[in-house]
Amino acid sequence: MDGNTTKRGVVFINETVPYQPVAWLANKLYDEHYMTIPTKNSIVNNSIGKNISYQWKINDNWNHLAVNALKEKEPMLPGSIEEYIFEHYYGYTKINDQVTQEYKINHSSWQVNKVVDYSIDCDFNSMYGSDFSFLNSRTPDSVIVAEGSPVTVNWKRTKF
């Protein structure tokens, strides 16, 4: 809340990139908390769909998220889980126990692709900490593929 205005935003639990200079710059210039890990990805399109795979290495083990999705894009339905997850226009970063930075984010509404099948192999404890280890034995409530768009950040301010 900002006064009487509710702001929908996103906080990243873990921010990873494959390149040390990117992590260093984000951490030094913007007080982010990026870490560097090996990653690889694959997107294979065919006539009816796409196969998307993202992999990352933690503790000498490759983790992955993979989906098979239909090629056809659809707008997000109002009130849908997709809209709830993706329609955020603020980002928040913890600076310390007392200070959080708020970012204003701009992007057009994204479209989604119906997921036909998925695979998840993630050591949630190693990646996100013990508070998230219970996810190792859970089936996801939803798996969503969204077609992104260019994103810009207009301003940043410190909140207390």
Give per-residue pLDDT as tens, 109-157.
999 999 999 999 999 999 999 999 999 999 999 999 999 899 898 766 7
Q: Which residue has the tokens 């057009």?
A: 108
What band does 41 get if pLDDT is binned at 50, 70 and 90? very high
What band does 160 get if pLDDT is binned at 50, 70 and 90? low
Asked whether the predicted pLDDT for residue 2 surpasses 80, the reply is no
C-alpha distances in angstroms, 110 versus 86, 145, 149?
A: 8, 10, 7
Asked whether the predicted pLDDT for residue 66 surpasses 90, the reply is yes
Ordered by start, the domain boundaries in the chain are: 40-159
Residue 14 is predicted with a pLDDT of 85
Diameter of the chain measured on Cα atoms? 51
Q: Where are the beta strands (DSSP E) in 2-110?
A: 9-11, 15-17, 34-36, 39-45, 49-58, 61-75, 90-94, 100-106
Residue 1 is predicted with a pLDDT of 60
17-34 confidence digits (pLDDT tens): 999 999 999 889 888 889
* CA atoms of 77 and 60, how far apart (whole Å): 40
77-108 confidence digits (pLDDT tens): 999 999 999 988 888 888 888 888 888 889 99
What band does 158 get if pLDDT is binned at 50, 70 and 90? low
Residue 19 is predicted with a pLDDT of 95
Residue type at 13 in one-letter notation: I
Asked whether the predicted pLDDT for residue 70 surpasses 80, the reply is yes
Asked whether the predicted pLDDT for residue 159 surpasses 80, the reply is no
